[in-house]
Structure 1
Amino acid sequence: MKTNYIQSLFAAFLCAAACAGFTACESDTIETSGGKKPDQEALQNVYGKLRSGATAGNSVDVLLAEGEGSGISTFYFQQTKPAADAVTLAARGDASLADAYNEAEETERTVLPAQNYEFPDGASLDLSKDTQRSVYKRIRFLASGLTPGEYVLPLTVAEEGMPDDAKTLYYNITVRQPQIGDTELHKGDDLFFVFYINTDQYQPLLVDEYFMQKEVQKEQYGGQSWYNLIGNIINLRTVRLDREAESGRAILSLGDDMTYVLGQAVKYIRPLQDKGRKVCISIEGAGSGLGFCNLTDAQIADFTAQVKTVIDSYQLDGINLWDRNSGYGKEGMPAMNTTSYPKLIKSLREALGTEKLLTVTVYDRPTETFHDVDACGGIAVGDYIDYAWSGYNSNKEAPQLLDPWHPTETYVSAYTQKPIANLPAERFGCINFPFYPEAESEEEAMMQDPAEVLSEWVETEYKPNNIMVFADLRTNLQDGYEGIWDGAFSTYCDCMDINSRTYQGRRNGLSYNFDLNRGLGNYPEKGGYGKWLKDWK
């Protein structure tokens, strides 16, 4: 019953496309056993199978955190031929199938109690006449009242007393204890941190090395204000919107590194979520000429279904959209337009619901008309996103202050962005801080000084919020960055604190001490190097 996960995910994507209205999966066949050639009568029979939206096999892994943890999976029914007449099937849990499953899998999973799962869309699977598959239905799993351990739920549409593996899905539910640790996550009242981390280079667990201490230095308020983990939103990259040459479909391409990380979510993602972080995937272009700004309505629906499958399957907290590297203008590809991207945002919000984060990184032409509802096809983008922030963060230039409300001030970046329609200023991050290597000249050192950019902006009380966005995280004990940028990181925080003020480019009353890589002594053979570099190939 075990299947290769990468192949399973690809199959799930194809099924998601069919759900969105494409016909690529309509000819999918049900797997059959090998053996002698079937006779003509058997070929004329119609067979059906209960399928999962997360895997091509009939066993589905679900991970829940102890306590109030929950998770959602999808399922549907598919026949080898279109139904001659309308068909309705009822999905139900069948505890009587658990013993045979446990014996075959050589496990001892406890049957999941009925109160720990529910069907938000109902449990009926309907095939109308002349169709091959039902619509997707959701099953929600609840950890409430369960002790940590291994559980199983056989979900079937087979008749009672007539077990049929083709018409049964086996959900393997693991309930685990949250990995909270000894240090709390900073809640984001004075500073709210948004981090990116590139899984092509680093493990997401690098985030757990980011500790910050805030001290109030004035005598009457002296002492430590807080010492916490930091990183409220974590955007994992690289995930791409690519184009399938044969069909022209817009494909969500995870790539090998992200596929591995998501497949090992228990190790790389759940420890971050356990502490209260929101872990999202960041989606950008793939250089194919197809991007967020030139999709058809059918491609948008297809792509949305793929994204939802990944978010639900891996229990992620949302997505970040950053339209860069799409390669617009290639021969034979549609021209950019101003309605495609807003339509995609609206479609994703409606599919993911309000419980998931949907954020946008403002960057170049793709977002330049987001202030104009008419240009966006009547869509006010701010109604559909939780946050937006600047995407200008090159470490070849100074920190770029992107302030849509005060664009003419001398200290504001030359890059421009008008306020996004209906997005409140308190939810727009005006600066995305780069990580700089060791400066090779005095000019470079001055360029990297955030006080040159931020002091007047803070003093005039133009700063609309406490959002701090950082480019791809990295260790502080490696190559040209060794021992250099942690001080700058602290200075950024000092400048951006919502309670602080500046005086001639310097701070009064606050001190931030950045504590990174404090556990590197565990790797003396490497001198601390490479602790959080990816540990897979």
Structure 2
Amino acid sequence: MNNSFKYFALSMLLVALTGCTAGDITQIGGVLPDETPMNSMGGQLYSGKTLSHMITVGMYEDDGAATEEIVYALTKPATTTVTVKVVPSPELVAKYNSDNSTEMKEFPVTNVTFEDGGSLTIPTGKKVSENISVTLSPEGLEAGTLYLLAITLERDFAGIEVQAAKQVIYYRISFREKITTCTPGYEPIPIPPMMPGLTSVFYVNTETYQPLIANAWSVKAEGSTMPAPIYNMGNIVNLKKATIDYDATSGRALFSLGSDLSYVLEHRDKYIRHLQEYDHKVCICIENGGKGIGFCSMTNTQITDFVSQVKATVNRYQLDGVNLLDDDSKYGKAGTPAMNTTSYPMLIKTLREALPGKLLTLVDKGDATEYFYDINKCGGIEVGKHIDYAWHGYVSPTEDLQAITPNPEGTQVYSKYTRKPIAGLDEKCYGSVNVPLYSSTDIKHRDQAAETIAKWKSAGYKKSNIIVYGNDLIGNEYGGYETAVGIMLGTYSLLPFMDDGDSWDFNRDEVIWGDVLYDGKALDNRINGGPENNPYRKDW
């Protein structure tokens, strides 16, 4: 199992610890262990955010100073007021590098500021000090350089048995400049703006690809102006795979991050921050885990618990929101509750309340969302009032494209699936076109997709500017230099979808060529080097 997944699980435990200012400090095995003789008192310096004594801090050009927290704890209640003082230690940095054969640069002590001058006070009868902040300034740091800061006690405190390893916290600090250019050709250009008049949605499966694959694609609008402008794509990037797990012993619904997604989140400065530099909104896609408990069968207690877990993750990793996808739920498995029509709406409402200002989107598919048109079935909740966007989930790289505009009767002209409007959701917030990623040699399905979208749009069914690419984003999966994703973005999706693109003449039963030719392009020329040279494959 990936170690970062273990660290994430541990961090969830720390949610309860971070706010503690007095009393016992609880660890996995119980209270802080007393490793000193029975009549002695031990002490430990540690972070207010994690139990680890080696902490990674990513600093970024636009963020200013970073703030960490430290606290001091005793193994027994203090018989008198205890005050210790912490200071940076260049000596310990040098010793760490020597002992571990590393060459990390010493973090400048002038860039370190302690709250209360670094004093940590434990009152009589207590075991834990109040947290104090440590402010780390990026002033003068070199991009791409790994720094090390050691914080330790200024001196030993009389009456406290100290173990050297427990009196120091190491901060491994990196600094990164903001990236403002991309290289679609041989020369770098400024990162292009998002395509106007369009909300496009990407999915990336971290089990096979780095999220940065979402930065590799763009669209050129030839014929709109000269020279033809290039636009960024992927307003929303949903990362997979996170699921709902179930603990039969405790009865808890657990928010489970796969090991790959966990790794990506723990290294957000590399994989997430750069997406946000391109103006992508980065969200986690949560699916049912097939354990019997899912969106449609949780109790209110389970919902409250589950939402708190999701909120902790979104806030910790500075994500932009959550996408909900109930596809293969397996409700009622092994004696677990059957599906009902009130828990999913309650989950959505609770998530919205817990994540104000964050994107909350859902995939409309199958029985899980079929009843969202009926407020009474949803326990009086208008689901559409609590989400930002929804889109249908009927997308397959081996089937025809489906264009679905929900209506009260549910019937469709350009889809074999029926959907009704989600109560309270503006029709401008529903994605009717979910584009499959067809093989670059699958001309039949690609031609059908372009024709379906053109007919659907020309018949007046287009109510929103949302287009979804629901299959996992990839690089060059089909060999050679022909790019399936580039073909998807231009030829059979945007070209007929955009108002100034191709349309359909029903009288003559043929295409009406549009004013603009939308052509899918790469924002990173390395993507065209063939599958074996793809720079966006997993690198962990």
Shorter-chain TM-score category? 0.7 to 0.9
Q: Please give the alpha-carbon distance, in whole angstroms, between the structure 1 residues aligned to 2:18 and 2:403.
A: 43
Q: Please give the alpha-carbon distance, in whole angstroms, between the structure 2 residues aligned to 1:141 and 1:450.
A: 55
Give runs of aligned pairs for residues 77-116 of structure 1, distance below 5 A. Answer: 96-97=87-88, 102=93, 105-106=96-97, 108-110=106-108
Task: Classify 1:429/1:295 alpha carbon distance in 2 versus 1 (closer, same or farther; 3 Å).
Answer: same
In the alignment, structure 1 residue 381 sits paired with structure 2 residue 383: yes
Q: Please give the alpha-carbon distance, in whole angstroms, between the structure 1 residues aligned to 2:315 and 2:384.
A: 24
Q: Please give the alpha-carbon distance, in whole angstroms, between the structure 1 residues aligned to 2:133 and 2:393.
A: 37
SS in 1 for 2:403: coil
Residue in 2 aligned with 1:214? Answer: 221
Counterpart residue type for residue 109 of structure 1 = F
In the alignment, structure 1 residue 194 sits paired with structure 2 residue 201: yes
In the alignment, structure 1 residue 244 sits paired with structure 2 residue 247: yes
| Unpaired stretches in structure 1, ≥5 consecutive residues | 118-123
Does the 8 Å contact 1:212/1:513 carry over to 2? yes
Give runs of aligned pairs for residues 60-209 of structure 1, distance below 5 A. Answer: 60-68=55-63, 96-97=87-88, 102=93, 105-106=96-97, 108-110=106-108, 174-181=174-181, 182-209=189-216
Counterpart residue type for residue 424 of structure 1 = D
Does the 8 Å contact 1:476/1:516 carry over to 2? no
Task: Classify 1:126/1:372 alpha carbon distance in 2 versus 1 (closer, same or farther; 3 Å).
Answer: farther
Instruction: Single out whichever of 333-342 and 263-272 deviates more from structure 2.
Output: 263-272
Residue in 1 aligned with 2:185? Answer: none
**Which of the pair has more CA radius of gyration?**
2
Residue in 2 aligned with 1:494? Answer: 495
Q: Please give the alpha-carbon distance, in whole angstroms, between the structure 1 residues aligned to 2:132 and 2:494.
A: 43
Does the 8 Å contact 1:68/1:143 carry over to 2? no
Counterpart residue type for residue 421 of structure 2 = P
Deviation at 1:245, TM superposition (A): 3.8
Does the 8 Å contact 1:241/1:291 carry over to 2? yes
Q: Please give the alpha-carbon distance, in whole angstroms, between the structure 1 residues aligned to 2:374 and 2:232.
A: 39
Instruction: Single out whichever of 389-398 and 244-253 deviates more from structure 2.
Output: 244-253
Task: Classify 1:253/1:501 alpha carbon distance in 2 versus 1 (closer, same or farther; 3 Å).
Answer: same
How many percent of aligned residue pairs carry the same amino acid? 31
Q: Tell me the alpha carbon deviations over residues 482-517 of structure 1, each in whole angstroms, 9 at most, x when there is no partner.
A: 555633431311122144461334432110111248
Residue in 1 aligned with 2:184? Answer: none
Deviation at 1:75, TM superposition (A): 8.9
Residue in 2 aligned with 1:332? Answer: 335
Does the 8 Å contact 1:294/1:340 carry over to 2? yes
Give runs of aligned pairs for residues 516-535 of structure 1, distance below 5 A. Answer: 516=522, 519-520=525-526, 527-532=530-535, 534-535=537-538
Residue in 2 aligned with 1:428? Answer: 430
Deviation at 1:115, TM superposition (A): 9.3
Give runs of aligned pairs for residues 313-328 of structure 1, distance below 5 A. Answer: 313-328=316-331
Instruction: Single out whichever of 145-154 and 499-508 deviates more from structure 2.
Output: 145-154
Q: Please give the alpha-carbon distance, in whole angstroms, between the structure 2 residues aligned to 1:357 and 1:336.
A: 26
* Counterpart among 489, 513, 521 of residue 515 in structure 1: 521
Residue in 1 aligned with 2:186? Answer: none
TM-score between the two structures when normalised by the length of structure 1: 0.76
Deviation at 1:345, TM superposition (A): 2.3
In the alignment, structure 1 residue 415 sits paired with structure 2 residue 413: no
Does the 8 Å contact 2:253/2:293 carry over to 1? yes
Deviation at 1:472, TM superposition (A): 0.9
Does the 8 Å contact 2:213/2:475 carry over to 1? yes
| Unpaired stretches in structure 2, ≥5 consecutive residues | 20-25, 98-103, 182-188, 506-510
SS in 2 for 1:295: coil
* Counterpart among 344, 362, 365 of residue 364 in structure 2: 362
Deviation at 1:277, TM superposition (A): 1.5
Task: Classify 1:313/1:456 alpha carbon distance in 2 versus 1 (closer, same or farther; 3 Å).
Answer: closer
Residue in 1 aligned with 2:450? Answer: 450
Deviation at 1:273, TM superposition (A): 1.7
Counterpart residue type for residue 478 of structure 1 = Y
SS in 2 for 1:190: coil
Q: Please give the alpha-carbon distance, in whole angstroms, between the structure 2 residues aligned to 1:224 and 1:470.
A: 31
Deviation at 1:226, TM superposition (A): 1.8
Does the 8 Å contact 1:77/1:134 carry over to 2? yes
Deviation at 1:478, TM superposition (A): 2.4
Does the 8 Å contact 1:321/1:359 carry over to 2? yes
Residue in 2 aligned with 1:11? Answer: 10
Counterpart residue type for residue 515 of structure 1 = K
SS in 1 for 2:465: coil
Does the 8 Å contact 1:459/1:502 carry over to 2? no
Residue in 2 aligned with 1:285? Answer: 288
Task: Classify 1:133/1:301 alpha carbon distance in 2 versus 1 (closer, same or farther; 3 Å).
Answer: farther
Task: Classify 1:386/1:168 alpha carbon distance in 2 versus 1 (closer, same or farther; 3 Å).
Answer: farther
Does the 8 Å contact 1:95/1:111 carry over to 2? no
Counterpart residue type for residue 344 of structure 1 = L
Q: Please give the alpha-carbon distance, in whole angstroms, between the structure 1 residues aligned to 2:371 and 2:14.
A: 34
Task: Classify 1:514/1:374 alpha carbon distance in 2 versus 1 (closer, same or farther; 3 Å).
Answer: same
Counterpart residue type for residue 525 of structure 2 = G
Q: Please give the alpha-carbon distance, in whole angstroms, between the structure 2 residues aligned to 1:243 and 1:159.
A: 47
Residue in 2 aligned with 1:472? Answer: 472
Q: Tell me the alpha carbon deviations over residues 234-290 of structure 1, each in whole angstroms, 9 at most, x when there is no partner.
A: 111111111134433222222222222223333322222222212222111111111
Deviation at 1:387, TM superposition (A): 1.9
Residue in 2 aligned with 1:398? Answer: 400
Does the 8 Å contact 1:294/1:334 carry over to 2? yes
Residue in 2 aligned with 1:120? Answer: none
Task: Classify 1:353/1:203 alpha carbon distance in 2 versus 1 (closer, same or farther; 3 Å).
Answer: same
SS in 2 for 1:214: strand
* Counterpart among 228, 235, 254 of residue 257 in structure 2: 254
Does the 8 Å contact 1:71/1:142 carry over to 2? yes
Q: Tell me the alpha carbon deviations over residues 61-87 of structure 1, each in whole angstroms, 9 at most, x when there is no partner.
A: 332421246889899999989x99xxx
Does the 8 Å contact 2:287/2:325 carry over to 1? yes
SS in 2 for 1:96: strand
Q: Please give the alpha-carbon distance, in whole angstroms, between the structure 1 residues aligned to 2:251 and 2:450.
A: 45
Task: Classify 1:78/1:167 alpha carbon distance in 2 versus 1 (closer, same or farther; 3 Å).
Answer: same
Q: Please give the alpha-carbon distance, in whole angstroms, between the structure 1 residues aligned to 2:258 and 2:406.
A: 35
Does the 8 Å contact 1:215/1:511 carry over to 2? yes
Does the 8 Å contact 1:63/1:175 carry over to 2? yes
In the alignment, structure 1 residue 307 sits paired with structure 2 residue 310: yes
TM-score between the two structures when normalised by the length of structure 2: 0.75
Counterpart residue type for residue 62 of structure 2 = G
Q: Please give the alpha-carbon distance, in whole angstroms, between the structure 1 residues aligned to 2:331 and 2:455.
A: 38
* Counterpart among 266, 271, 281 of residue 269 in structure 2: 266
Does the 8 Å contact 1:49/1:77 carry over to 2? yes
Task: Classify 1:126/1:399 alpha carbon distance in 2 versus 1 (closer, same or farther; 3 Å).
Answer: farther
Does the 8 Å contact 1:52/1:60 carry over to 2? no
Counterpart residue type for residue 178 of structure 2 = P
Does the 8 Å contact 1:72/1:313 carry over to 2? no
Task: Classify 1:52/1:450 alpha carbon distance in 2 versus 1 (closer, same or farther; 3 Å).
Answer: farther
Deviation at 1:348, TM superposition (A): 2.6
Deviation at 1:429, TM superposition (A): 1.3
SS in 1 for 2:87: helix
Q: Tell me the alpha carbon deviations over residues 319-343 of structure 1, each in whole angstroms, 9 at most, x when there is no partner.
A: 2111222321213101122222222
Does the 8 Å contact 1:349/1:384 carry over to 2? yes
Q: Please give the alpha-carbon distance, in whole angstroms, between the structure 2 residues aligned to 1:6 and 1:166.
A: 24
Q: Please give the alpha-carbon distance, in whole angstroms, between the structure 2 residues aligned to 1:134 and 1:422.
A: 50
Deviation at 1:298, TM superposition (A): 2.7
Q: Tell me the alpha carbon deviations over residues 306-330 of structure 1, each in whole angstroms, 9 at most, x when there is no partner.
A: 2233223333222211122232121
